[in-house]
Amino acid sequence: MKKLQDSIVGFIGLGLMGGALAMGLRKQGPKKITGYDINSEVIEKALNQSVIDEGVTDSQGLQQMLAACDLVFICLSPMDALAFLALYMEDFKPGAIITDIAGVKGVIFNNLGNLLRKDIDFIPGHPMAGSEKEGYGGADDRIFQNRNYILTPLPSNQPENIAFIREIVTALGFNHIVETTCAIHDEKIAFTSQLCHVIAAALVDCEDDLSITDFEGGSFGDLTRIAMINAPMWTELFMCNRKNLLNQVEKFEASLAIMKAMIKAEEKTELIDRLTAVRKKRVIMGEIRDAKSLKKK
Tell me what pLDDT residue 53 has.
98
pLDDT of residue 297: 58
Element (H, E) at 127: strand 125-128
- Per-domain boundaries in the chain: 4-180, 185-265
CA separation for the pair 37, 297 (Å, rounded):
37
Residue 267: pLDDT over 70: yes
Instruction: Determine the Cα–Cα distance for residues 168 and 72; give it in Å rounded to an integer.
Output: 13
Question: Do the first three CATH levels of 4-180 and 185-265 match, i.e. the same topology?
Answer: no
Superfamily in which the 185-265 domain is placed by CATH: 6-phosphogluconate dehydrogenase C-terminal like domain (1.10.3660.10)
Higher pLDDT, 130 or 33: 33
Please give the pLDDT value at position 296. Answer: 64
- pLDDT for residue 2 is more than 90: no
Tally the C-alpha atoms within 13 A of residue 82's C-alpha that lie toward its C-beta.
16
The answer on pLDDT for 293 being more than 80 is no
Mean pLDDT, the chain, whole residue set? 95
Q: Give counts: helices (H), strands (E), the chain.
A: 12, 9
pLDDT confidence of residue 132: 77
Residue 20 has pLDDT above 80, yes or no: yes
The bridge status of strand 125-128 relative to strand 121-123 is unpaired
In this predicted structure, what is the pLDDT of residue 264?
98
261: CB partners within 8 A, 6+ apart: 267
Q: What is the pLDDT of residues 45-60, one digit of tens each?
A: 999 999 999 999 999 9
- Does residue 7 or residue 3 have the better pLDDT? 7
Q: Which amino acid is at 24?
A: G
Query: What superfamily does domain 4-180 belong to in CATH?
Result: NAD(P)-binding Rossmann-like Domain (3.40.50.720)
Q: For 251-264, how does the pLDDT look when each residue is reduced to its tens digit (9 = 90+)?
A: 999 999 999 999 99
pLDDT, position 281: 96
pLDDT, residue 291, reads: 83
**CA 131, CA 228: separation in Å to the nearest integer?**
9
- Model confidence, pTM: 0.92
- Residue 175 makes CB contacts below 8 A (sequence gap 6+) with 145, 146, 147, 148, 293, 296
